[in-house]
């Protein structure tokens, strides 16, 4: 007997009812219609293809752009005792055949594939042998060159129609305007698609943008006031640790999360955040997939994201329990200047892309016309240093080459070299006396890493090289020599990512073929960043209305809870100067920050009024740099 969607929902997810418009989407898929679902972050997109698959016979092919996203969904399904798998990068022909045998005979329901994998003739041939119930295209905005993350390989997905004629397709995205939706329907060759949209309007989410000089102080004020689970987004791995340390030092229990942590470290940080032993998570945008925590009360952007789409996706992780929540962005003039400089600095020209592409082949000694099938271990920092490239620019160029099918990338950030001193500190001192040239290096190691005598410690050869003004290759040679002398146990990991070249080496010819795609991608990147700057600079129009306009959603209903709406509600006649004088008459002296904390007014306005009161000789600054009445 066939189960109902509600029964499946209750059995595997523990919910009794669907959120709008999930049920309507599931019904359309069950009726074998082609569907496009535009559901903002937190709208429950994956359920829309997972539940119909569990009701019907056969396997669902899920096409997804990110390995991490696939692994996250597969892990989530496996925990529910639902069988799912993906075809890993570098899988041999025999391994692929075994995987498809498992799909055919092992009760598997989901096969996750990248769009590049789908182009393999072997995989296409093996798919034909399966009973396919549905094709789900996740992150479908990648199809459109007008989307915020255009990926040319997505435009070849429609070939699946050639060998799966009668199978319906569901395309899912969290961010798309009408132009992108049209592009999705046309490119996937959808037949009379049913389009479902959920409004981007969130009545319980207050978008608030503040100009502040002291961001750490304001961060402290926010988490003191909100007292709910929170996410703080920053733009660098280093900053995640620094800000989490600052919050912990101030008794706000925090974890940090970024793409460079090991799988165990990520899981530990995530669990502590979910069970609220550390209710604040400080993270890069690597923290996002698979988050299903309903009571996040505030998402704080400590740094500026690079598009409205990114901002909405990240902010949308607040308030899923429908209670009032906050999306707070902190900025100042320095941020804007740095943002523009970084955008300019990290947007490569076609000439630079050609140069990095050519040097990649040189780095691995691959000759013109040659195509090598294996995966190469790749150290991003070392490559950037050898050829004097900006690391951030190299990262973007690798993404461009990957998105255009020139290379395949596999991140292995979780793998770290380890080091353990096998003897005691007395013997190490004796060794440095006998080997005077190693003394400085060994001392540097002991200053950089603690616990080297007690346990194996993760190390970074590039960091050690930087501290010793040498190369990581030289560091590895010294460590191997110390191991040979029985002083240390050194387990070396060569790489932080792996690269496979998908086309023969043709240098500039390869880039010429994809130059139009690259130019479109870079132009879109710049445009999206400029649109985001316009959004955060517009202090005269309701934030929600600006967002709805951006996604071409018609509305005139102001949210009444964003910073713009609140500032307009305030009585414009309120005299901040009078409030400051009244405050100082009760307290002997206060700093500007203390005054700002006590008065419900804009920080900039308070500073202006303080300067005015000084010029009017009504207040003064004392020797402690505090304000007091004259």
Distances (CA, A) of 546 to 174, 389, 531, 554: 17, 38, 11, 11
CA–CA dist 584, 588 (Å, integer): 6
Strands 84-86 vs 169-173: parallel, antiparallel or unpaired: unpaired
Judged by DSSP in three states, 488 sits in strand
Look up residue 490 and give its DSSP letter. E
What's the fold here for domain 205-331+543-565? Rossmann fold (3.40.50)
Tell me how long the chain is: 630
Q: Are 171 and 36 in contact (CB under 8 A)?
A: yes
**What is 341-413+497-526's CATH number, 1.10.10.10, 3.40.50.300, 3.40.50.880, 3.20.20.150?**
1.10.10.10
Q: Report the alpha-carbon distance of residue 469 to residue 467 in Å, rounded.
A: 6
Which residues have C-beta within 8 Å of that of residue 163, sequence separation ≥ 6? 124, 127, 128
SS (HEC) of 270-338: HHHHHCCCCCEEEECCCCCCCCCCCCCCEEEECCCCCCHHHHHHHHCCCCCCCCCEEEEEEECHHHHHH
The answer for residues whose C-beta is within 8 angstroms of residue 334's C-beta and 6 or more apart is none
Query: What's the pLDDT at 496?
Result: 60
How confident is the model at residue 414, as a pLDDT? 47
How far are the Cα atoms of 208, 284, 531, 534, 547 from residue 538, in angstroms, in the given order? Answer: 12, 26, 11, 6, 12
Cα–Cα distance for residue pair 175/553, rounded to 1 Å:
12
CB 611 within 8 A of CB 592: no
- The predicted pLDDT at position 411 comes to 62
B/e letters for 431-446, b = 16+ CB within 10 Å, e = fewer, are bbeeeeebeebbeebe
The reported pLDDT for the residue numbered 312 is 92
> What pLDDT score was predicted for residue 120?
83
* Ranges of residues in the chain whose predicted pLDDT is under 70: 1, 42-43, 68, 89-90, 147-148, 263, 289-290, 411-415, 494-496, 569-574, 600
- Which residues are CB-contacts of 345 (< 8 A; sequence separation ≥ 6)? 390, 392, 393
What pLDDT shows up at residue 302? 97
Dihedral sign computed on CA atoms, order 490, 493, 494, 495: negative
CATH number of 570-629: 1.10.10.10
Sheet holding 35-38, edge to edge: 84-86, 110-113, 59-63, 132-137, 169-173, 35-38, 194-197
User: Which sign does the torsion angle of CA 417, 418, 423, 426 carry?
Assistant: positive
Return the number of other C-beta atoms located less than 10 Å from residue 359's C-beta: 15
pTM for the whole structure = 0.71
- 171's enclosing H/E stretch is strand 169-173
Rounded to 5 degrees, φ, ψ at 369 are 85, -10
**First-last CA distance in the chain:** 85
Classify 5-197 by CATH class.
Answer: alpha beta
């Amino acid at each position: 007997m066939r189960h109902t969607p509600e029964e499946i929902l209750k059995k595997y997810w523990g919910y009794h009812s669907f959120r709008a418009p999930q049920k309507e989407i599931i019904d359309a898929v069950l009726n074998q219609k082609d569907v496009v679902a535009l559901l903002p972050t937190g709208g429950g997109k994956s359920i829309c293809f997972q539940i119909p698959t569990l009701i019907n016979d056969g396997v669902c092919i899920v096409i997804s752009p990110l390995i991490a996203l696939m692994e996250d969904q597969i892990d989530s399904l496996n925990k529910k005792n639902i069988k799912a798998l993906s075809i890993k990068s570098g899988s041999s022909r025999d391994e692929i055949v075994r995987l498809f045998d498992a799909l055919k005979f092992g009760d598997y329901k989901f096969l996750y594939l990248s769009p590049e994998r789908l182009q393999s003739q072997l995989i296409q041939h093996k798919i034909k042998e399966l009973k396919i119930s549905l094709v789900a295209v996740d992150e479908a905005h990648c199809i459109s060159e007008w989307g915020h993350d255009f990926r040319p390989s997505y435009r070849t997905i429609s070939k699946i129609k050639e060998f799966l004629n009668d199978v319906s397709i569901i395309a899912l995205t969290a961010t798309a305007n009408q132009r992108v939706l049209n592009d999705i329907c046309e490119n996937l060759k959808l037949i009379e698609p049913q389009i479902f949209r959920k409004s981007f309007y969130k009545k319980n989410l207050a978008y608030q943008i503040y100009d502040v000089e002291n961001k750490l102080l304001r961060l402290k004020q926010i988490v003191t006031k909100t007292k709910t689970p929170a996410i703080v987004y920053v733009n660098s791995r280093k900053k995640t640790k620094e800000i989490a340390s600052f919050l912990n030092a101030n008794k706000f229990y925090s974890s940090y999360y970024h793409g460079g942590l090991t799988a165990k470290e990520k899981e530990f940080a995530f669990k502590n955040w979910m069970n609220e032993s550390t209710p604040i998570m400080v993270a890069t945008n690597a923290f996002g997939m698979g988050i299903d925590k309903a009571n996040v009360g505030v998402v704080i952007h400590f740094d500026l994201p690079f598009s409205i789409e990114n901002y909405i996706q990240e902010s949308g992780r607040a308030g899923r329990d429908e209670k009032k929540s906050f999306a707070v962005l902190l900025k100042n003039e320095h941020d804007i200047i740095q943002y523009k400089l970084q955008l300019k600095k990290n947007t490569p020209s076609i000439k630079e892309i050609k140069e990095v592409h050519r040097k990649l082949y040189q780095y691995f000694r691959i000759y013109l016309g040659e195509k090598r099938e294996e995966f190469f271990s790749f150290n991003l920092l070392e490559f950037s240093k050898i050829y004097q490239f900006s690391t951030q620019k190299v990262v973007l160029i690798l993404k461009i080459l990957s998105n255009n099918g020139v290379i395949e990338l596999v991140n292995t950030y979780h793998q770290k070299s380890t080091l353990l001193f096998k003897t005691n500190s007395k013997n190490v001192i004796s060794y440095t006396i006998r080997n005077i040239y190693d003394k400085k290096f060994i001392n540097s190691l002991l200053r950089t890493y603690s616990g080297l005598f007690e346990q194996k410690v993760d190390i970074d050869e590039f960091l050690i090289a930087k501290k010793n003004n040498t190369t990581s290759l030289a560091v590895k040679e010294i460590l191997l020599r110390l191991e040979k002398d029985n002083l240390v146990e050194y387990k070396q990991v060569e790489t932080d990512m792996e690269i496979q070249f998908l086309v023969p080496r043709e240098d500039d010819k390869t880039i010429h073929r994809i130059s139009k795609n690259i130019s479109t991608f870079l132009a879109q990147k710049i445009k999206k960043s400029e649109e985001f700057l316009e959004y955060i600079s517009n202090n005269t129009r309701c934030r929600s209305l600006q967002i709805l306009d951006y996604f071409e959603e018609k509305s005139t209903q102001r949210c009444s809870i964003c910073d713009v709406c609140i500032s307009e509600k305030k009585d414009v006649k309120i005299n901040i100067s009078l409030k400051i004088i009244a405050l100082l008459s009760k307290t002997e002296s206060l700093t500007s920050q203390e005054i700002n904390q006590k008065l419900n007014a804009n920080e900039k306005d308070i500073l202006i009024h303080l300067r005015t009161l000084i010029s009017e000789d009504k207040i003064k600054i004392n020797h402690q740099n505090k304000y007091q009445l004259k």
